[in-house]
Amino acid sequence: MIPVTKPFLPPKEEVIQYLDEIWERNWFTNDGPLVKMLEDKLRRYLELEHLLFVSNGTIALQIALKALKIEGEVITTPFSYVATTSSIVWENCTPVFVDIDPETWNIDPVLIEKSITKETTAILATHVFGNPCDVDAIQNIANSHGLKVIYDSAHAFGSTYKDKPIMTYGDINAISFHATKLYHTVEGGAIVTNSLQLAKRMMYMRNFGHDGPGRFNGIGINGKNSEVHAAVGLVNLNYANEVLTKRRDNYDRYKSNLQGEMLTFQKINDVGTSNHSYMPVLFQNEKALNEILTELNDNNIFPRRYFYPSLDELDYVESGKMKVSQDISSRILCLPTFHDLTINQIDFICSFFKK
């Protein structure tokens, strides 16, 4: 069977070395030494100012909204994972959908300004499949209207914009370190900001607001992560460059094989780089997608319709009738890509398209 993805597995022995330390200290959570070490190493690796390790990427989004005191309307993309929208709704804000660029599949900055009202307080955009948004255009709009900018960077580990890490842009970035991600800590995520003041605020917020024994500094939730997850993250970070290179190689092999097969590929930002964490292809119509999907499934190959459906079609939001997003979501398929996927397997998958 070839699934759409598989978690990268580092050498077990290297993880066990950290586990032995954890068992010796008997310190499993609450800002342990491995959590602090991972935060420091991730900051250095990603060239960031401030990074907080949290329990998952969704909590990261929720804390970001709360820390920036976002209320009212949040302009966002309909083409993302459901957590992007549900986090806005969960924080009692209203998602206002803006359609996507038909080539990059990121939120279309040209359309953002038309959707701003007196109730708008923030823009929450996603770097779709690791492809950087037009962050300059988004920031210019935000500056001219006094809006905050949050990026859902769940897919964007290792992506860049103008030779800078993509997570250095915006007020706050939320990252996912879920097991399916290119870099993972089994379960986990991170909050990134350039602001020391915001970083301190969110540090309290992820731990109930605790400020020492019997003291609290504002409202908080349980967004912490554990020493065990940090141990996996520390080991996986040693292999991050290798994983990034392999994803890029997978992407290049697929693209070389599938040229001329009546498929469209995502247009990568001209001044950015993608980590190629996913392998999305766009069909001419949904019928063609379903035909190849059935054929692949019959041969134990399991790609994924991702992102499907368009988020403006969720039953707990007001439909935005996002024509481009709905069209793209009906025709897109993410093909298998993971670290130990072989060239022969990629060629085998592509052979069904060539038929």
pLDDT tens-digit map of 108-153: 999 999 999 999 999 999 999 999 999 999 999 999 999 999 999 9
- The residue with tokens 């997608």 is 289
Domain around 95 = 2-237
In angstroms, the CA 224 to CA 185 distance is 13
Interval 181-197 mean pLDDT: 98
CATH number at residue 317: 3.90.1150.10
Tens of pLDDT, residues 54-69: 999 999 999 999 999 9
Same domain, 62 and 155: yes
Same domain, 47 and 104: yes
Same domain, 39 and 106: yes
Across the chain, mean pLDDT equals: 97
Q: Can you give the pLDDT at residue 44?
A: 98
In angstroms, the CA 61 to CA 39 distance is 18
pLDDT over 70 percentage in the chain: 100
In angstroms, the CA 35 to CA 46 distance is 16
Same domain, 73 and 176: yes
Same domain, 220 and 302: no
Q: Can you give the pLDDT at residue 355?
A: 83
CB-based contact 15:7 (threshold 8 Å):
no
Same domain, 258 and 333: yes
Let me know the angle formed at the C-alpha of 5 by 7 and 151, rounded to the nearest 5 degrees.
Answer: 85
Same domain, 280 and 218: no
Same domain, 233 and 245: no
Same domain, 158 and 24: yes
- The residue with tokens 């481009």 is 324
List b or e across 115-131, with b for residues whose CB sees 16 or more CB atoms inside 10 angstroms: bbeeebbbbbbbbbbbb
In angstroms, the CA 65 to CA 71 distance is 8
Distances (CA, A) of 339 to 19, 107, 145, 148, 251: 24, 29, 43, 36, 12
CB-based contact 72:298 (threshold 8 Å):
no
Q: For residue 260, name the pLDDT band (cuts at 50, 70, 90).
A: confident
Q: Can you give the pLDDT at residue 164?
A: 96
Q: Can you give the pLDDT at residue 319?
A: 75
- The residue with tokens 């990427």 is 57
Q: Name the token pair of 192.
A: 């990134």
CATH number at residue 197: 3.40.640.10
pLDDT over 90 percentage in the chain: 95
Query: Bigger pLDDT: 240 or 321?
Result: 240
Instruction: Quickly list DSSP for 133-181.
Output: P-HHHHHHHHHHHT-EEEEE-TT-TT-EETTEEGGGSSSEEEEE--TTS
Domain stops at, among 237, 264, 287: 237
Q: Supply φ then ψ for residue 94, to 5 degrees.
A: -110, 115
Q: Can you give the pLDDT at residue 354?
A: 86
Interval 272-279 mean pLDDT: 97
Domain stops at, among 182, 215, 237: 237
In angstroms, the CA 230 to CA 238 distance is 13
Is pLDDT of 95 > 80? yes
Q: For residue 318, name the pLDDT band (cuts at 50, 70, 90).
A: confident
Let me know the angle formed at the C-alpha of 259 by 253 and 265, rounded to the nearest 5 degrees.
Answer: 85
Q: What is the model's pTM?
A: 0.96
In angstroms, the CA 46 to CA 160 distance is 10
Q: Can you give the pLDDT at residue 328?
A: 98
Q: Can you give the pLDDT at residue 87?
A: 98
Domain stops at, among 187, 216, 237: 237
Q: Can you give the pLDDT at residue 215?
A: 87
User: Considering its fold, how many domains does the chain have in total?
Assistant: 2
Same domain, 257 and 179: no
Among 331, 64, 76, 94, CA closest to 223:
64
Is pLDDT of 23 > 80? yes
Interval 297-314 mean pLDDT: 96
Residue type, 190: A
Same domain, 131 and 257: no
Let me know the angle formed at the C-alpha of 247 by 243 and 252, rounded to the nearest 5 degrees.
Answer: 145
Same domain, 116 and 254: no
Q: For residue 320, name the pLDDT band (cuts at 50, 70, 90).
A: confident
